[in-house]
Amino acid sequence: MQIQSVGVVGAGQMGNGIAHVLSLAGYDVLLNDISEEAIGAALDLIRSNMTRQVGRGKIAEADMEAAIARIRGTRVLSDLGATDLVIEAATERETVKQAIFEDLLPHLQPHTILTSNTSSISITRLASRTDRPEKFMGFHFMNPVPVMQLVELIRGIATDEPTYKACYAVVERLGKTAASAEDFPAFIVNRILMPMINEAVYTLYEGVGNVNSIDQAMKLGTNHPMGPLELADFIGLDTCLAIMNVLHDGLADTKYRPCPLLTKYVEAGWLGRKTQRGFYDYRGEVPVPTR
């Protein structure tokens, strides 16, 4: 099928980035959130990020204005029922995602494809709670969406070939690269990345190194652009913990046991950049390690 319009659920960090790239690729985008303020902030951020792209010569100003004109915000979830493709990008909690799809179902067109931007939750299980498991997929963008080239496409056990091909065509139109993953906990990227971050937290927890030495070792010793603890703060420590719990529960292997220190930071509300404190304290002019 030919996808022309896309509904995005969630105007947060991922949702606004997804709306950004979809609109630039020529799709009509309906951006939904329960908060009017979140929608307004997302639209402002999209304009700011596109203006930066114009300044760098990545896109023309006319293309920016046309793209922004293709995005509409709505607080009414049922409005997304008229779109050809829905990308859910709400918080990484399965109950929240299930509730969103349940509320959407009565309003969808028969051909509408449902997808989730989940970074770890079972696509098959999410799909089974809908009326169209064959038209359901994982559509996992990387953060920040306008910059990162990869999109993981995850088929559930029931996902049919036309649905996969339609989503693959969207990724191509965005100018990004699709990596196909099977529906196992955390898929490809986070199956590899999160245990590395968790091991870095264990290295800190056990006193092998402090925050600065661990991040410096990985940046300079393995040529990573960000250290694992800095990256964890960027992703959100609550998200890291949620993914580690999915891995631990889903694969029943002790090697995926979340580090107690990661749990402690999340319990403290020190979730990284978004709360101004995580493995670094961001409240001053320069981030300062908290351990």
Please list the active-site residues.
119, 140, 152, 190
Which three-class secondary structure state does DSSP give residue 20?
Answer: helix
User: Is 278 among the annotated ligand-binding positions?
Assistant: no
14 is in an annotated binding site: yes
Is 116 annotated in a binding site? The answer is no
Whether residue 274 is annotated as binding a ligand: the answer is: yes
Residue 102 assigned to a binding site: no
Residue 207 assigned as binding residue: no
206 token code pair: 């056990």
How many whole angstroms separate alpha carbon 250 and alpha carbon 258? 13
Residue 61 among known ligand-binding residues? no
Q: Which are the contacts of 116, defined by CB distance < 8 A and separation ≥ 6?
A: 87, 88, 97, 123, 126, 137, 138, 139
Of 38, 42, 52, 35, nearest to 16 (Cα)?
42
Cα distances (angstroms) measured from residue 59 to each of 45, 65, 107: 16, 11, 36
Residue type at 275?
T
What CA–CA distance (Å, rounded) separates 114 from 138?
9
219 is in an annotated binding site: no
Count of CB atoms within 10 A of residue 57's CB?
7
Nearest-5° Cα angle at 220, 140 to 212: 85
- Least Cα distance to 274 among 286, 262, 266 occurs for 266
210 is in an annotated binding site: no
What are the strands of the beta sheet with 136-141, ordered from one edge?
Answer: 71-74, 28-32, 5-9, 85-88, 113-116, 136-141, 150-155, 177-181
82 is in an annotated binding site: no
143 is in an annotated binding site: yes
Q: Which residues are annotated as a binding site?
A: 10-15, 33, 92, 97, 119, 143, 274
- Provide the annotated binding site for NAD(+): 10-15, 33, 92, 97, 119, 143, 274
